[in-house]
Amino acid sequence: MLSWKPFALSVAVLLILFPFVYLVLLSLSSEWRFPDLLPSYFGLKNWATILGSEAGLLESFVSSLLISLSVAIVSTTSGFLISRAVFYHPKKNTLTLLAYFPYILAPVVFAACLSFFFLKMGLFGNITGVIVAQFIIAFPYALLFFSSFWNKKIKSYEDLVATLGGNRWQTFIKVLFPLAKGLILICFFQTFLISWFEYGLTSIIGIGKVQTLTIKVFLFIKEANYYYGALSCCLLIFPPVVLLYLNKRYVFKKLV
């Protein structure tokens, strides 16, 4: 009897790939009106606008990249260093619970309640403000991510380095960073994605002046410009796909 499983899996693979293919096709189309099953124009016209300033997509791509890289670098570094203090603290369970409050709250609601303070600090409607706001939501994630790293084994390594005369700097550079390298890289990817995918918080703190790719997607949806919307979606999806591939190929493999 033939197994149904290969058939079901093939359908599943097609379903997974379908959104990627459909969005690329939509981004290459224009004048695709109901009830046509295929677009009347199919070509690179929309993609050519990336290089022009008409839609400002290249600018949005660069802004998104700058914001996400900054958030990922700062939150991973601070998350790693501060998590050491938190998870070696006698009250670590209570501190961990406190870290969950901002982590669990919807970022958009958090941003709406914080917007007054951002306005007072001159962080409203600019890239710095968006980076700070996204850092506030990415930091608890990074901190909790490293919770399992600071265990008894790591503590004994630290004690051993101290016994052998190593200083704090040497402990971090020669022992802790090499041991946590894989986790740091995964945390960097994850916090990059948290920032890259963020829409609600960015729209509140950036008040439309900071136009990341997610903001652009929504603007194009509101304008019913679905072709540019699909193009923005492609730009939004492909960097994470590359990151996932690198993550899976190089990071997970080394960790296993």
Partner 1 sequence: MKNKRLNFGIILFIAIGVVPFVAAFIYALLYSFGVIGVANKGFTTEFWTSVLASGEFFTSFLYSFLIALVAVAVSVGGALWVTLKFRKRLEQKFLSFIIYLPLAVPGIVTGFFTFQLFSKGGFFARLSYQLGWITEASQFPDLVNDALAFGILLSFITMIMPFFVLLFLNVYKNERIEELSILAQSLGANAKQVTQRISLPILIKKTRVLIVLYFIFLLGAYEVPLILGRESPQMLSVLIIREIKQYDLDKISEGYVVAVMYTLIVSAAAIVLFFPRKGRMYEH
Q: Cis omega (within 30 of 0) on the bond before 19?
A: no
Least Å from the CB of residue 149 to partner 1? 13
DSSP 3-state of 10: helix
- Compute the distance between CA of residue 38 and CA of residue 11 in angstroms, rounded to an integer: 22
Nearest approach, Cβ of 254 to partner 1 (angstroms)?
16
Q: Does 99 bind partner 1 (CB under 8 A)?
A: yes
CA end-to-end span of the chain, whole Å?
Answer: 37
Binding mask 45-84 for partner 1 (x = CB under 8 A): ---------------------------------x--xx-x
Q: How many residues bind partner 1 (CB under 8 A)?
A: 78
159 binds partner 1 (CB under 8 A): no
Angle between helix 177-197 and 127-145 (nearest 10): 130
* 121 near partner 1 (CB under 8 A): no
Q: Which span sits near partner 1 by CB under 8 A: 21-29, 48-56, 57-65, 123-131?
A: 21-29
**Among 30, 49, 77, 96, which residue interacts with partner 1 (rule: CB under 8 A)?**
96
Residue 246 binds partner 1 (CB under 8 A): no
Q: Is 245 left (phi over 0), alpha (psi -120 to 50) or beta?
A: alpha
Candidate residues 172, 205, 214, 219; the one interacting with partner 1 per rule CB under 8 A: 214
Nearest CA-CA partner of 186 in 116, 119, 109, 244: 244
Rounded distance between C-alpha atoms, residue 64 and residue 212, angstroms:
5
Closer to partner 1 at the Cβ: 177 or 245?
A: 245
Q: Which residue lies nearer to partner 1 by CB, 53 or 61?
A: 61
Output the smallest distance, CB 75 to partner 1, in A: 9
Closer to partner 1 by CB, 9 or 48: give it.
Answer: 9
Instruction: Give min distance, CB of 179 to partner 1, in A.
Output: 19
**In whole angstroms, what is the distance from residue 214 CA to residue 60 CA?**
9
254 interacts with partner 1 by CB under 8 A: no
Nearer of residues 17 and 48 to partner 1, judged by Cβ:
17
Measured CA to CA, the distance from residue 82 to residue 115 in angstroms comes to 26
Q: How far is the C-alpha of 171 from the C-alpha of 164, rounded, in Å?
A: 11
